[in-house]
Amino acid sequence: MTSKAFKTRLNLVMKRMLCACASQQPGKILVVGVCGKSRLGAVRGNAFGNAFRKAAQKSRADYFYELFESSWIILDASAVNSFMIRLTENL
C-alpha cells in the first residue's frame, strides 16, 4: 500500500507504517498501524489514526490504540484485504 509522506515541524519526512502477522488465535491476523506524532495543534488530528479506526469499525474488528501514534486490530484472515481497501479509501 502506498502512503503519502507528511512533514513534521522539523521538516523531517515521516511515513506511515502498516504491519500484519499471524495472531496466536487460529485464523486471525494482527494488523498494526504506526504513524509519527501529530503536530501540536493540528486541526484534523492524526489522519492516519482516524482512517485506521474507521476502517476497523467498518470491518467489525476488535480495535485498540495507544494515544495517537499506534493502533492495532485483530481480524479474521479473510477480512484483511477488505480492511486494507477501506483503510486506503479513508486516507
Residue 1: band (very low, low, confident or very high) from pLDDT cuts 50, 70, 90: very low
Residue 84, classed as helix, strand or coil, is helix
Q: Are 33 and 21 in contact (CB under 8 A)?
A: no
Determine the straight-line distance between the first and last CA of the chain, rounded to whole angstroms: 11
CATH class of 6-90: alpha beta
Grid cell in block for residue 37: 506524532
Whether the pLDDT of residue 74 is over 70: the answer is: yes
Q: What is the DSSP letter of 44?
A: S
CA dist list (Å): 65 to 9, 11, 19, 74:
24, 26, 15, 12
Please write the tens of the pLDDT for every residue from 17-71. 889 999 999 999 999 888 766 555 555 556 777 788 888 888 878 777 765 577 8
Predicted model pTM: 0.67
